[in-house]
Chain A
Amino acid sequence: MHFTKPSPPSDDKRWRIVEATMRRHGYDSHALIETLHSVQQTFGYLDTEALRYVAKSLRVPLSKVYGAATFYHFFTLKPQGEHTCVVCMGTACYIKGAPNIVAAVSEKYQVKPGETTADGKLSLLTARCLGSCGLAPAVVFDGEVAGKVTPEEALERIGRWMNHDS
């Protein structure tokens, strides 16, 4: 049976990056996770349109694509806030007070771990383990790892984002 490649959800040029990933793997269904990585790296998250497109391109049932996208913690179906604060909750960070950092940020900005503030400015996330155990507790502020963080320092850094942008 002849297979027609579906067209991307939009004419956004960035879809070419995703297409290149799929092409490299010969549009094989085995490339599902690699392709999802490519979408997330390019667009920041996986929305329904993207999942449909990947499903059709790789000829994998949408249910399986959704299954993989929700099974793996690394994938997110929601866009992240303007700034992200990822608190490491690995064992070393946990016993050195990471929960206090989460609690402080969560209370001050009324945002639960894994969620984004109503104004879309801040996402508070937790990580399983960053592997920076020697620097516990570690926090990633917008992609930059900081070690031996106290709740006060975390609030101070986030405060700078929030004030600077308003």
Chain B
Amino acid sequence: MTPEELRKLASSQEEARPEPKHRIKICVAAGCLSARSDQVLQALQDEIARRGLTDECEVKGVGCLGLCTAGPLMVVEPEGVMYEGVTPEDASDIVNSLGGKPVERLLCPADSPFFQKQYKIVLENSGLIDPEKIEDYIARDGYTALARVLEEMTPQEVIDEITRSGLRGRGGAGYPTGLKWSTVAKAGGSRKFVICNADEGDPGAFMDRSVLESDPHRVLEGMAIAAYAVGASQGYLYVRAEYPLAVKRLRTAIRQAERLGLLGNNICGTTFSFHVDIRLGAGAFVCGEETALIASIEGKRGQPRPRPPYPAEYGLWGYPTLINNVETFANVAPIIRNGGDWFASIGTEKSKGTKVFALAGSVKNTGLIEVPMGITLREIIFEIGGGIPEGRRFKAVQTGGPSGGCIPEQYLDMPVDYESLAKVGSIMGSGGMIVMDETSCMVDVAKFFMEFCMTESCGKCVPCRVGTAQMYDILQKITTGEASMDDLALLEDLCDMVKHTSLCGLGQTAPNPVLSTLQYFREEYIAHIVDKQCPAGVCQIHRREGH
């Protein structure tokens, strides 16, 4: 397929479609699916067929609409009416209402801050297109960035555009993407690889899954552009086996793109070839670390190795390798389409663009959101999130999963960007954002994450393997009321040691949840140790007679 043919296909998609009078789009991403949205979809299709309205009304499954807590969600167009909590029994009422008054009892206010305060780049197609149809993606300018790159730009120009955009790694660490690409491009050798890290292991994070399930082609297009820029011809998508739906949709997407000549040999009729294969992860958190991920693709245990050399110079099978996260790749096509300057105009001075967050925990509106960098935590939690349910009080928000920290109330007005989050002892992370109220015990939360890191430690280096176990033991003692102040001092020493001597990011950041809760909620630790009390009433304190 040449770029010219692609444009034709895109416009023919627009025209060929007999404009149905009504369109019903229902979310079939994992969140709504588990609320049985597939049955609702079926019921609606049956109802419409039964009434012979198939020509007038189109029903289709689309990607994530965001507000997972209210699922199944659907949108009726052209009215733009949004419904929540739909059941198969509602099908008849919904079809009755088409073109008339909406079904009052199912209405979901689409003008609420949850929808209005968001800014969508990565998720712009999410909820609009059928993720299993490449034509839908192409009709929304899909693959035009790739065609343009191949037609008009040199690899260096692509890298310059990405550099100008100021895009930084969305996996959490925030390394400048342009710089990474240029390092791989400069590395010598005839073979290079591009890897997409979709091993989303952070508990409480589901951004990558949603992107892959809702708009898989966007990620493939980003990978292909990256491959052209750095000079690679083979790519791997390393995705969790725990995400079967994402895997299925990716396989479909790759097949469709290959059939249209948008992946594979001689893409768009040029000399550029790029093949993508899927590799399944197998449930090891440490494989999110790039050198461990490479080991896993090579068929080995996912254990990291010291860096340097960085994968950019010595990666998969020893060849220069570019590794980026799903969300990073998803930002590439819009940057090429709209220009680096456009992207750089969004966000803050050092953190450009938007960030997708998985908002969950003790907050009214849980789900997937995309917001401009620099928005405050208060806006996210109290406006988009709708605040804390059941009249409870906000206590802390956890970002960055097991590598991040708990941020207390006094920093709610802080802007969300890489530097500000790091300054208060947390990290941007991949985008998990868990809100906690007064019923959560901060020591228990720290113990939860330490248990996670202890079990997920790969065992290669001693500080992480032994240190996390020792820290977990002390936290266990604190939560059962058996610890002394000496134990607390030892815990702080261990945090320092593990942080500075571990081999990879897993160990180096494992103490963060403890350090941040100690910094802001030290009195809770003291209450467990000295008063033998859990202020939140979560921990089972063993009281000994005579104490």
Which A residues are closer than 8 A to B by beta carbons?
28-34, 36-37, 60, 64, 67-68, 71-75, 89-92, 94-96, 127-136, 138, 144-147
- Taking the complex as formed, is B137 at the interface, i.e. its CB lies under 8 A from any CB of chain A? no
Q: Separation in Å of the A123 CB from the closest CB of chain B?
A: 16
Chain B residues with a Cβ closer than 8 Å to the other chain, count: 52
- Taking the complex as formed, is B300 at the interface, i.e. its CB lies under 8 A from any CB of chain A? yes
**10 cross-chain CB contacts under 8 A:** A31-B299, A34-B280, A72-B281, A73-B284, A74-B242, A75-B282, A91-B204, A94-B448, A134-B366, A145-B33
Q: How far is the CA of A16 from the CA of B298 in the complex (A)?
A: 23
A60 to B, closest residue via Cβ? B299
- Contact: B296 with A128, CB < 8 Å? no
- Taking the complex as formed, is B219 at the interface, i.e. its CB lies under 8 A from any CB of chain A? no
- Contact: B299 with A68, CB < 8 Å? yes
A residues less than 8 Å from B243 (CB atoms):
131
Q: Separation in Å of the A67 CB from the closest CB of chain B?
A: 5
- Contact: B279 with A131, CB < 8 Å? no
**In the complex, the 9 A-B pairs of residues with the closest C-beta atoms, listed nearest first:** A134-B68, A72-B282, A131-B206, A91-B204, A74-B283, A145-B34, A133-B360, A90-B203, A73-B283
Which B residues are closer than 8 A to A by beta carbons?
30-31, 33-35, 67-69, 71, 200-206, 209, 241-243, 279-285, 296-302, 358, 360-362, 366-368, 398, 401, 432, 434, 436, 440, 445, 448-449, 452, 458
B439 to A, closest residue via Cβ? A95
* The one of B31, B71, B299, B432 that contacts A30, using a Cβ cutoff of 8 Å: B299
Supplied contacts A134-B67, A135-B34, 4 more A-B pairs, CB within 8 Å = A74-B282, A91-B432, A91-B449, A130-B242
B residues less than 8 Å from A144 (CB atoms):
34
Q: How far is the CA of A134 from the CA of B242 in the complex (A)?
A: 17
* The one of A36, A90, A146 that contacts B204, using a Cβ cutoff of 8 Å: A90
Q: Separation in Å of the A45 CB from the closest CB of chain B?
A: 14
**With contacts A74-B242, A75-B282 known, is A134 near B299, CB below 8 A?**
no
- Contact: B302 with A132, CB < 8 Å? no
A residues less than 8 Å from B360 (CB atoms):
91-92, 133-134, 136
Q: How far is the CA of A73 from the CA of B368 in the complex (A)?
A: 27
* The one of A60, A91, A135 that contacts B398, using a Cβ cutoff of 8 Å: A91
- Contact: B367 with A95, CB < 8 Å? no
B residues less than 8 Å from A64 (CB atoms):
300
* The one of B206, B283, B301, B434 that contacts A132, using a Cβ cutoff of 8 Å: B206
- Contact: B34 with A138, CB < 8 Å? yes
